């Protein structure tokens, strides 16, 4: 049987890594009829494509399965110079030195959320990680919380998780995914209206009121960028926390090392970003013909950058299938790379370190309760839907 | 491939063959140059790939963009006239033989 790589297949959701190895070794520039796009799987090719936005454009969308009407209006789905003016408005808030004010609030959220696990012997890690991510994101973006909240936190989380999924059978977004996306847009619109009426010193207020060279951002940019910040913040942070907990629950030696010495957490986080980060694949579209490994990809073709495969490329990382928290995998693609590298790297690193410091204070020993897990159906992201852990 | 020399604050020099089109930050971290952090991944958002470029690069490079100039305000070591962010410099044959010196600190 000839090799196929279908990013909509449940087998790929569950374990893409054996497929990635065949792609890298035998089909480094592979046309997937199921996905209707080329797949690049080697580290060096992905880095090259990620740097060359003139050739590998994001303006036709960056999600493997794009949401309707979104392409071109968000940071991830636009090219410079449009991209740079949007990013210029937002990135300042996400710089490491500007996150100091969030350290204490994030710590307080982590204590409260993970404190609930005191004395609990069995739990789904998603229950706590989703509470944590939504609260952290609300604080970081300035979404109405507590008495001012206009929706409950769990609803935000549920919709953020649904909108990044895709249907394995139809290979598109299903009605439930579109409904979640629409819900998130309506929520973002309400928050924007609230902050415009009474601006505060928060990210969404600044963004909603911003003018560039005297021009307001267009309404679609404000709405869809805000929608994407909420989606990316909740789903990406939550998905990565699930993967980090999954790794620590699976590899006893690594878990015991970071529990005994929390100073090792940042290195363990970096290795998890390399080993099996939740953001597995993103998409670009060619602006000119490119010939690579004997194949010619045509102008207008879509190309998948399989970050999760580049991170396992033995040409870049020796013994790539070992989870080794002493590896210090510099240059990994866990946050993508180039002009579209993740905006939230600093807050993600801070939030995850804080969360697991507090989690391990309460739960120093834990294991997975199931060998087989149910994985999220998504052509872009990968994380388990449920992660039952036991402290015994 | 274009060969450039990275000079760390300690004085140690490493010649790196950089694929054309790669940023000098990306090439540094893929080749184990410790004096560049590149925390944000190359999107001009963290100022931890600060470098001082030599005369050859000064002459060969296009001027920094507005966003690079903005971000250069945030470097932690001394900012000099030849300060650049390595993530914003793409390798090309015109840069062959150039060198960049890395500051004592990036954060």
Model confidence pLDDT, tens digit, residues B12-41: 999 999 999 999 999 999 888 999 999 888
Q: How close, in Å, is residue B84 to chain A by CA atoms?
A: 16
Cα angle A212, A230, A373; round to 5: 150
What's residue B43's pLDDT?
Answer: 85
Contacts of B41 in chain A (CB under 8 A): 335-338, 341-342, 345
* pLDDT band of A68, cuts 50, 70, 90: confident
pLDDT digits (tens, 9 = 90+) for A109-162: 999 999 999 999 999 999 999 999 999 999 888 899 888 999 998 899 889 889
CA A347, chain centre distance (Å): 13
What's residue A213's pLDDT?
Answer: 58
**Contacting residues for A50 by C-beta, under 8 A, at least 6 apart:** A56, A305, A333, A336, A337, A338, A340, A341, B42
* pLDDT band of A209, cuts 50, 70, 90: confident
The candidate with the shortest Cα–Cα distance to B26, out of A308, A339, A307, A267, is A339
Do residues A293 and A29 make contact, with C-beta atoms less than 8 angstroms apart?
yes
What's residue A210's pLDDT?
Answer: 78
Residue A92: how many other CB atoms lie within 10 Å: 16
Contacts of B30 in chain A (CB under 8 A): 47, 316, 330-331
Give the separation between CA A188 and CA A382, rounded to whole angstroms: 25
What's residue A216's pLDDT?
Answer: 67
Contacts of B22 in chain A (CB under 8 A): 47-48, 51
In this complex, the residue of B38, B42, B45 whose CB is nearest that of residue A95 is B45
Shortest CA distance from B69: residue in chain A: A88
Sort strands A282-286 and A367-368 into parallel, antiparallel or unpaired.
Answer: unpaired
What's residue A212's pLDDT?
Answer: 60
Of A20 and A330, the structure prediction assigns the larger pLDDT to A20
What's residue A215's pLDDT?
Answer: 63
The mean-pLDDT minimum among A102-106, A170-174, B52-56 falls in A170-174
3-state secondary structure of A240: helix
What's residue A20's pLDDT?
Answer: 98
Contacts of A341 in chain B (CB under 8 A): 40-43, 45
In this complex, the residue of A88, A97, A345 whose CB is nearest that of residue B41 is A345
* B37, B39, B42: best to mutate for the A interface, most A CBs within 10 A: B42
Note the pTM of the prediction, 2 decimals: 0.92
Of A211 and A47, the structure prediction assigns the larger pLDDT to A47
The answer to whether the CB atoms of B44 and A336 lie below 8 A apart is no
According to DSSP, the residues that pair with A323 across neighbouring strands are: none
- What is the percent of chain A with per-residue pLDDT over 70, rounded to a whole number? 98
* B24, B38, B45: best to mutate for the A interface, most A CBs within 10 A: B45
pLDDT digits (tens, 9 = 90+) for A298-308: 999 999 999 99
Q: How many CB pairs under 8 A join A and B?
A: 71
The answer to whether the CB atoms of A341 and B21 lie below 8 A apart is no
* pLDDT band of A389, cuts 50, 70, 90: very high
What's residue B26's pLDDT?
Answer: 93
pLDDT digits (tens, 9 = 90+) for A71-89: 988 888 989 888 887 887 7
Query: What is the rounded radius of gyration, in angstroms, for the C-alpha atoms of chain A?
Result: 20
Q: How close, in Å, is residue B26 to chain A by CA atoms?
A: 7
C-alpha separations of A193 from A139, A149, A209, B9 in Å: 18, 14, 10, 50
Give the separation between CA A262 and CA A250, rounded to whole angstroms: 18
Q: Give pLDDT tens digits along chain B (107 positions).
A: 999 999 999 999 999 999 999 999 999 998 889 999 998 888 888 899 999 999 999 999 999 998 899 899 999 999 999 999 999 999 999 999 999 999 999 98
In this complex, the residue of A47, A91, A340 whose CB is nearest that of residue B22 is A47
Shortest CA distance from A43: residue in chain B: B30
The candidate with the shortest Cα–Cα distance to B101, out of B50, B60, B59, B62, is B50
* B2, B40, B48: best to mutate for the A interface, most A CBs within 10 A: B40
What's residue A261's pLDDT?
Answer: 98
Give the separation between CA A144 and CA A198, rounded to whole angstroms: 12
Torsion of CA A147, A344, A246, A19, to 10 degrees: 140
Is cis: bond before A46, omega within 30 of 0?
A: no
Q: How close, in Å, is residue A331 to chain B by CA atoms?
A: 5
Contacts of A342 in chain B (CB under 8 A): 40-41, 43
pLDDT digits (tens, 9 = 90+) for A335-352: 998 888 998 899 999 999
Give the separation between CA B95 and CA B86, rounded to whole angstroms: 13
How much is the ipTM here?
0.84
Of A244 and A76, the structure prediction assigns the larger pLDDT to A244
Q: Mark out chain B residues that contact chain A at CB-CB < 8 A.
A: 19, 21-23, 26, 29-30, 32, 38-46, 65, 67, 70, 74, 90, 107
The answer to whether the CB atoms of B41 and A84 lie below 8 A apart is no
The mean predicted confidence, pLDDT, of chain A is 92
């Amino acid at each position: 049987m000839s090799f196929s790589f279908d990013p909509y297949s449940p087998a790929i959701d569950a374990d893409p890594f054996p497929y990635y190895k065949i792609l890298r070794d035998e089909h480094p520039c592979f046309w997937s009829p199921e996905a209707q796009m080329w797949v690049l799987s080697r580290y060096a090719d992905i880095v090259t494509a990620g740097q060359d936005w003139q050739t590998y454009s994001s303006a036709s969308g960056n999600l493997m399965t794009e949401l309707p009407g979104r392409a071109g209006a968000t940071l991830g789905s636009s090219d410079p110079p449009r991209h740079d003016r949007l990013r210029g408005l937002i990135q300042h808030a996400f710089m490491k030195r500007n996150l100091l004010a969030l350290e204490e609030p994030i710590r307080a959220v982590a204590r409260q959320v993970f404190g609930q696990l005191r004395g609990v012997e069995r739990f789904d890690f998603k229950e706590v990680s989703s509470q944590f991510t939504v609260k952290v994101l609300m604080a970081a973006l300035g979404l109405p919380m507590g008495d001012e909240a206009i929706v409950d936190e769990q609803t935000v989380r549920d919709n953020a998780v649904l909108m990044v999924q895709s249907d394995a059978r139809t290979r598109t977004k299903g009605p439930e995914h579109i409904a979640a996306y629409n819900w998130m847009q309506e929520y973002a619109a309400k928050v924007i209206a609230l902050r415009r009426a009474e601006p505060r010193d928060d990210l969404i207020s600044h963004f909603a009121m911003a003018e560039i060279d005297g021009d307001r951002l267009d309404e679609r940019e404000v709405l869809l960028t805000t929608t994407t910040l909420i989606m990316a913040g909740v789903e990406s942070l939550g998905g990565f926390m699930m993967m980090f907990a999954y790794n620590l629950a699976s590899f006893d030696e690594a878990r015991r090392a970071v529990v005994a010495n929390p100073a090792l957490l940042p290195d363990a986080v970096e290795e998890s970003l390399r080993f099996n980060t939740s953001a597995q694949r993103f998409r670009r579209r060619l602006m000119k013909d490119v010939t690579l490994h004997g194949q010619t990809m045509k102008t207008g073709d879509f190309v998948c950058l399989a970050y999760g495969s580049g991170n396992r490329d033995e040409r870049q990382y020796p013994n790539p299938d070992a989870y080794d928290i002493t590896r210090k995998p510099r240059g990994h693609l866990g946050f993508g790379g180039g002009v579209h590298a993740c905006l939230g790297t600093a807050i993600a690193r801070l939030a995850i370190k804080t969360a697991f410091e507090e989690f391990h204070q309460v739960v120093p020993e834990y294991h997975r309760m199931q060998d087989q897990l149910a994985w999220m159906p998504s052509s872009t992201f990968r994380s388990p839907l449920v992660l039952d852990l036991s402290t015994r | 491939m274009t060969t450039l020399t990275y000079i760390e604050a300690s004085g140690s020099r490493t010649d790196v063959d950089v694929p054309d089109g790669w940023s000098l930050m990306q090439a540094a971290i893929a080749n184990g140059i410790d004096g560049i952090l590149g925390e944000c991944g190359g999107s001009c958002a963290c100022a931890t790939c600060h470098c001082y470029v030599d005369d050859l690069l000064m002459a060969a490079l296009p001027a920094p963009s507005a966003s690079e100039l903005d971000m250069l305000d945030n470097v932690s070591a001394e900012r000099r006239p030849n300060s650049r962010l390595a993530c914003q410099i793409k390798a090309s044959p015109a840069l062959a033989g150039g060198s960049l010196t890395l500051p004592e600190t990036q954060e």
